[in-house]
Amino acid sequence: MAVKRFLITGCSGFVGRHFLNCLYAKEEQMDILGIDMKSPRFDLTGYQDRLHIDFCEVNLLNRERLKQVLSDFKPQYILHLASFSSVAFSWQYPEESFVNNTNIFLNLTGVIKELGLKCRILSVGSSEEYGNVSAEDLPLREDIHLMPVSPYAVARVSQEMLAKVFVESFGMDIILTRSFNHIGPWQDERFVVPSFIRRILNIRNSGLREGEIETGDTSIVRDFVDVRDVVEAYYLLLMRGTAGEIYNICQGEGLKLSDMVNQIGSLCDVTVYTRVNPDFVRPNDNRVVIGSYDKLYRELGWKPVIPWKQTLSDMIDCMKDGKN
């Protein structure tokens, strides 16, 4: 059997790390090339008995450098994770966020087309693309009209539309996701759930059993899915997904951020009070986001298997041990 060759953009991030774990668990010999603007903080040598992993620093806006790397490696599968992935960042720096996320995808697909590479690309999108929806639209399905309400979301919709054009016009092999809020061990504390966990652990570590944290609007509802379930979906889609199709990856249930805070407090044995900081409230935020994974289950048999309470427990343990 030929050895599979995977290129992972944004490999140094927490999703890239979990995808490597996913590939390692397949117990196959694989060639992996990770690219990112900075080297991973985690050790790549622990995978080497099954995965041959190389890493190089690449700015995807540097088309000539990207062309050289792709020409040398000739990937069969590309997981495109690289992006500015923070909605909050996109509100602070809308032009930089939009231009970066759109242009790195244009460079990637353009170089693949120029080199004539026969490879499959998984273009990772976001549930943010759906925007504010009415109750009758829930749970969100892939055929609903998109109404993005942040610069980040608009960039993701643009990436998705470009991908569809490239599939239909050039026959490129691109599969698309709308990945809902994924959480798990090693997630950067700039994101909301690990930020909650860190601050609540700080209260406990100070010897207190109650305390206050500042938050944004905790009445909003999100569909949180474990990153370890997400990367299994990514692998399945790369192996057996249909080019040009869009797939939701979600838990299929909604959770208020206030309930998330309370659950973290319970797991940490801390009573948590919250106070809204207006600086943390996003303009025109999506009120309720709950997805349906029916399409992915129907076509590939995927469904989430890790409950969110287990995810939180694993994240807390990871931070306690200083491994985040």
C-alpha count within 13 angstroms, C-beta hemisphere, residue 159: 38
Is the pTM here over 0.85, yes or no? yes
pLDDT tens digits along 285-294: 778 999 999 9
User: How long a stretch of residues is the chain?
Assistant: 324
Quote the crossing angle between the two packed helices 94-115 and 151-170, to the nearest 10°.
20
The C-alpha atoms of residue 209 and residue 86 are separated, in whole angstroms, by 31
pLDDT tens digits along 29-82: 999 999 999 999 999 988 989 999 999 999 999 999 999 999 999 999 999 999
The C-alpha atoms of residue 227 and residue 204 are separated, in whole angstroms, by 26
Torsion of CA 137, 140, 143, 144, to 10 degrees: 40
The per-residue pLDDT for 253 is 96
Amino acid (one-letter) located at 235? Y
- For each of the domains in the chain, give its residue range(s) and CATH number, in order of start: 4-184+225-252+290-306 (3.40.50.720)
pLDDT surpassing 90 at residue 280: no
pLDDT tens digits along 179-235: 999 999 999 998 999 999 999 999 999 999 999 999 999 999 999 999 999 999 999
pLDDT tens digits along 77-136: 999 999 998 888 999 999 999 999 999 999 999 999 999 999 999 999 999 999 989 889
pLDDT surpassing 70 at residue 1: no
Instruction: Identify whether the C-beta of residue 8 lies closer than 8 Å to the C-beta of residue 119.
Output: no
Instruction: Identify whether the C-beta of residue 130 lies closer than 8 Å to the C-beta of residue 222.
Output: no
Per DSSP (E only), the strands in 75-181 are: 77-80, 120-126, 173-179
Range name among 121-125, 151-155, 276-280, 292-296 with the lowest pLDDT average: 276-280
Quote the crossing angle between the two packed helices 257-268 and 308-320, to the nearest 10°.
50
